[in-house]
Structure formats: structure tokens, C-alpha cells
A and B are shown apart, each in its own frame.
Chain A
């Protein structure tokens, strides 16, 4: 497999992957900081480098609606969004998922208003976590590119048929230049294959179909139960596609990415780009003889609770880093779900939560070191009186910083 090594920003890498995927329809509306993805993609369209029908729409609500219509008509359809744009798509996200349409959408993670902010934060996709979409979180430009290509296969798999969000951190990844290896166009095409609808579609005149019918108390639950099953079936498919992608590229993708967790006493769980920062601190701590590890979930929906329980159960103290708050008075979404997954662990380790990096606030090495110092203390006593903390906030009482 010949792979070219080039330097691209996250947005450029996503746009390039979209070009290589060459979808039938893209409907999009520009929104910071993903504007560049659709802007670059529209230039590919203008220059005749893709066969895509590019629909410029008046809003994100319309973008998702147009993509839903296109997917229901039996073609490969994509869009991209971020933040307020994703929030504006909200009701149509559910329609895409409940109609089990294999739409793939890069989402550049950033904060939701207010206050008005354009920077990296997971509040947008975490807000959509129960919309029924598969969610993949990408640590860097390479992973964003690789995830987008794999997402096509996952979404369109006959066992799944669900839309997929491919998330990457706003600005930190979307606008930062990184080296990555890219596939040749024909290798991407061969990997994703031709789009074959698994059901009769709107434009199949030989077999007309009614899309989106009414289903009340007599049928709604059966249809939703079947939708839930599709999400459960996605887990082995994501793994299978990851293995095939590894065979093609040499790059390995699974549900989770553990780092030095095997013998770890203390561990941080964190999504996306901050996982890289955390690994640096883990290497430092290992030099000092501290058994620290990190777990980066790549897949948040479906939630790999069994796999997470298995790798985290032996750890003595765990900190979950959430780049989004639930405003529930009980920590962020990743914290709650992982803590719940560990309820069935033989020896329930203490699990604490740090809300960090909201609105693009840096999470630097010192912040991560402070978390591990806290964890060291919690592991020693097996107890803490402060479950949820806010990292790097002025006048926030961090116990051991």
C-alpha cells in the first residue's frame, strides 16, 4: 500500500477524505470552524474533481433535511457542521437516525453559546449524544481522516444502517497543520465500495415506498426497539471495519485506545486531542516510577461499556475528563456513563470527574499533572469527598494543585 505523507490541517484532511469518498450529494451551510471543510469541498465540485451534487442551503436545518432526503432516495449523502450549526440540525438528526439513513458527517467540536465562543469544546456533539447517531472522536488529523473513511463503511453496513458523526476538536485539530499519511483515491474507493441501498428507496420506481410514516402507540416502540438493536450491532462492525482498515493502512483502530493501562494504578479517561497531551504526562510519570495510564475512547456511541469496564476495573483510581458539562449538578456525560459502567466491576474503583477545556481553554501538561497528583492521593485512601471538579478555573479549589 503506497501512502503519501503530507501536511494538512484537520479541515483540509476531512475535505480531502470527502473528495476521495466522492459522495453523490453534499448539502452544506458554512459555520465556524468547519467552514473550510465545505469551502474546500465546494472547490473540488467547481473544479470537476468529484461527481457530487452540491446543494447550497439557507441553514443547517435545511442542510440535514436535504441530506436526509438524498439518503432516503438511495444515494451516498454527506454534510459537515459544528456547534450552533449542529444545534440547529437537532430535530433532523433524530429523523436521520430513526429512518436509519447511512449519512456521514464530520463535526468540528466546539462550544455552544452563550457566551458566544468559537473554540474547541465537546458541548455540541455531547448534546446530540442521544440522537441515535454513531459517534467517533478523533485525536488528530490522521485519525480524523481515517475515521471519516471508515465511517462510510460503518454507516452503510447492512447490520447497522445508521448515521455517523466523525468528531474532531475545533481549532486545536481543525486549524492545526499536522503530518499525515493519505491513501490514493482509488484505494479509498475500493475500501468504501459502491453505495448499495439495503432497502427500497424513494427513487426506485419499480418498488415504491412510503418514507417516514406515522407510527403511534401501536408501532412506535417496536420501530424504536429495532433502531436500538442497530446501534448494538454497530459495535462488532466498527471493530471489523477497523481491522480491514488496518490491513490496508497499517493503522490500528478499535473501540478504545488504552495506553499503559495494563498495570496502571491511576488512569485518566479522555476523548480526542487531549489524549495526546495526557500520554506525554503518562510517559513522564512512568519515568518517575508512577504507574499511570490513559484510556481514549474512540467510539462514544455505541457506548462500549463492557470493554471500558474490562480495562478500567483493575485501576485503583480513575479521573474522567469531560470537555462538556451536563449542568446536572453531577458532572459531565462521559463521567456518568463510565462510572455507571464500572458499577458492575468486581472492586469498584473511585471515579472522579474533571470538567476541562470549555470554550477552548487550554488543557496543558500542568493541568494533567495536577489530575494525576489528585488521583495518587485518591488511590492511596480509596476515597474522595469531591467527585466533580473544574480543571483550570480561577479560584476553583483543586485539592493538590
Chain B
């Protein structure tokens, strides 16, 4: 995860002076379950990309390319919305995936 600033480095009152800084705040360690993308089942409908609240579905050339685990909070919306049968996104426990 990103380096934490010391009290001498934090902006006054924690005001955020940079635009688009949500990207720098890595939320991957909030996760207890994680989505696993199974490419062979994927029909490339991009529904997961649209529904992901954290822009954590990586895409390349308008195709799903993987998952950004630095930001994915493990909410499971992608796996829930995935219409393909069998599913191209499955939620697994964080501990089981290692």
C-alpha cells in the first residue's frame, strides 16, 4: 500500500489539494473476499466494468483485461452482475487465493 505521510508532511487540516487523488488511495486491503476473473468463461459484455464502483475492472481495447487488486474492495458486484454461464467472475476468500 502507499507510503503514509508524517504529521509534518500532511496538508493542513488534511485538505486535499490535488485533483483525481482517489487513485492514489489504495483500498485493496479493505477486501476480505476477492473476485477472480476466468477468461475462458468471459463473453466480454463489459457489464462488470460498468457496474464496478471503484473502476477496478481493467480493460484493454474495450475488452476486460483483469482486475486492479490495489483498488478492488471486494464488494462482489461484478460477480453478481456477470451474466455468462458458467460465470467469468467468482468471489473467493482472500486467504484461499494465496
Contacts and interface: CB of A to CB of B under 8 A. Distances in A.
Interface in A217-256: 218-219, 221-223, 225-227, 229
Contacts, number: 49
A222 B5 contact: yes
Nearest to A99: B13
A218 B19 CA distance: 21
Contact of B14 (A207, A215, A229): A215
Given A211-B13, A215-B14, A229-B7, 8 more contacts: A100-B12, A208-B19, A210-B15, A219-B10, A219-B14, A222-B5, A223-B7, A226-B7
Interface string B1-20: 00011111011111111010
A265 to B, nearest CB: 44
Interface residues of B, number: 14
A98 B13 contact: yes
A9 interface: no
A229 B10 CA distance: 13
B7 A225 contact: yes
A51 interface: no
Contacts of B5: 219, 222
Nearest to A215: B14
Contacts of A222: 4-7, 10
Given A218-B4, A219-B4, A226 B12 contact: yes
Contact of A213 (B4, B8, B14, B19): B14
A207 B16 CA distance: 11
Nearest to A224: B7
A222 B5 CA distance: 8
* Most-contacted residue by chain A among B4, B11, B13, B14 (CB, 10 A): B13
A219, A226, A227, A229: most-surrounded residue (chain B CB, <10 A): A226
A258 B83 CA distance: 80
A9 B4 CA distance: 53
Contact of B15 (A211, A221, A227, A229): A211
B4 A223 contact: no
A329 B82 CA distance: 64
A207 B15 CA distance: 12
Contacts of B11: 199
A196 interface: no
A304 interface: no
Interface in B13-37: 13-17, 19
B7 A213 contact: no
A200 B15 CA distance: 9
B28 to A, nearest CB: 14
Interface in A81-98: 98
